[in-house]
Structure 1
Amino acid sequence: MSNEPLTIGMLGYRFMGKAHSNALERLPMFFPEAPEVERDVLIGRDEEAVAEAAERFGFNRTSTDWEAVVDEVDVFYNLGPNAIHADPSIAALEAGASVFCEKPLAHTLEDAERMRDAARDAEGTAGIAFNYRFIPAIQYAKQLIDAGELGEIHHVRGQYLQDWLADPTSPWSWRNDEEVAGSGALGDLGAHTLDLARFLVGEQAGDLTRLSGQLKTFVDERPVPGDDGGTLSSGGGDSTETREVTVDDAYTAQAEFENGAVGTFEATRFATGHKNDHNIVINGSKGSLRFSVERLNEIELLTEDDRGFQTILVTDEDDPYIDCWWPAGHIIGWEHTFVHENYEFLTAVAEGKEHTPSFEDGYRVQELLEAIERSDERGEWVDVS
Structure 2
Amino acid sequence: MPPPSRTAAPWPAAWRSRVDVAAETDWRRLLERDDVHLVDICTPGDRHAEIAVAALRAGKHVLCEKLLANSVAEAEAMVAAAETARARGRLATVGFHYRRTPAVALARRMIRNGRIGTLRHVRASYLQDWLVDPEAPLTWRLRREQAGSGALGDLGAHLVDLAQYLAGERLAGVSAVTGTFVRERPRPTGGRGTVTVDDAALFTGRFPSGVLVSFEAGRVAAGRKNALRIEFNGAHGSLAFDLEGLNELAFHDRTEPADAVGFRRILVTEPGHPYLEAWWPPGHGLGYEHAFVHQARDLVHAIAAGAEPAPFFADGLQVQRVLAAVEDSAAKDCTYTSVPCS
Structure-2-length-normalised TM-score: 0.90
Deviation at 1:52, TM superposition (A): 8.6
**Among 336, 357, 363, the residue aligned to 2:311:** 357
SS of the equivalent of 2:59 reads: coil
Change in CA separation of 1:157 and 1:55 when aligned onto 2, cut-off 3 Å: farther
Q: Is the 8 A contact 1:70 1:88 kept in 2?
A: no
- The one of 197, 203, 213 aligned to 2:163: 197
Shift of 1:353: 1.4
Q: Could you say which residue in structure 1 is the equivalent of 2:183? A: 220
2: distance between equivalents of 1:53 and 1:125?
Answer: 33
Identity of aligned residues (%): 43
> 1:310: which partner in 2?
264
* Structure 1 alignment gaps of length 5 or more: 1-24, 26-50, 227-238
One-letter amino acid of the counterpart of residue 72, structure 2: L
1:54 is displaced (CA, Å) by 8.4
Of 94, 100, 103, which residue of structure 2 is paired with 1:134?
100
Tell me the CA shift for residue 56 of structure 1: 12
Name the aligned partner's letter for residue 349 of structure 1. Answer: I
1:155–1:262: 8 Å Cα contact kept in structure 2? Answer: yes
Unaligned runs of 5+ in 2: 2-11
Matched to 1:283, the amino acid is: N
Do structure 1's residue 62 and structure 2's residue 28 form an aligned pair? no
Give the letter aligned to residue 275 of structure 1.
Answer: K
Please report the RMSD computed on the Cα atoms of aligned residues, expressed in angstroms: 1.8
Cα distance in 2, alignment partners of residues 134 and 54 from structure 1: 29
State the secondary structure of the residue aligned to 2:289.
helix
Whole-Å Cα distance in 2 between the matches of residues 253 and 57 of structure 1?
Answer: 51
Matched with 1:144 is 110
CA displacement 1:119-178 (0-9 Å, x = unmatched) = 011131100000000010011111110011111111010100000001101111000000
Residues in 1 aligned to 2:27 and 2:82: alpha-carbon distance in whole angstroms: 19
In structure 2, the residue matched to 1:104 is: 67
State the Cα distance separating 1:70 from its structure 2 match.
Answer: 1.1
Match of 1:277 in 2: 227
C-alpha distance in 1, partners of 2:15/2:132? 33
Report what 1:48 is aligned to: none
Aligned to 2:248: 298
Shift of 1:225: 2.2
Distance 1:131 1:54 in 2: 27
Aligned AA for 2:338?
D
Determine the structure 1 residue equivalent to 2:141: 175
Q: Distance in 1 between matches of 2:214 and 2:17?
A: 42
Describe the SS at the equivalent of 2:43. Answer: coil
Q: CA deviation at 1:53?
A: 12
Given that 1:317 and 1:328 are in contact with CA atoms closer than 8 Å, whether structure 2 keeps it comes out as: yes
Determine helix, strand or coil for the equivalent of 2:63.
Answer: strand
With over 3 angstroms needed to count, the CA separation of the structure-2 counterparts of 1:221 and 1:125, relative to structure 1, is same
Residue 114 in 1 paired to residue 70 in 2?
Answer: no
Misfit runs of 4+, over 3 Å = 51-59
Paired amino acid for 1:340? H
CA distance in 2, matches of 1:56, 1:285: 59
Q: How many residues in Structure 1 have an aligned counterpart in Structure 2? A: 320
CA deviation after TM superposition for structure 1 residue 211, in Å? 0.7
Contact 1:54 1:62 in 2 (8 A): no
Alignment partner for residue 368 of structure 1, among 322, 332, 335? 322
SS in 2 for 1:215: strand
In 2, the alpha carbon distance for the partners of 1:186 and 1:121 equals 30
C-alpha distance in structure 2 between counterparts of 1:52 and 1:252, whole Å: 48
Whether contact under 8 Å (1:136, 1:319) holds in the other structure is yes
Q: In 2 relative to 1, CA 59–258 (structure 1 residues): closer, same or farther, beyond 3 Å? A: farther
Which residue identity does 2:307 align to in structure 1?
K
Shift of 1:58: 6.4
Contact 1:185 1:267 in 2 (8 A): yes
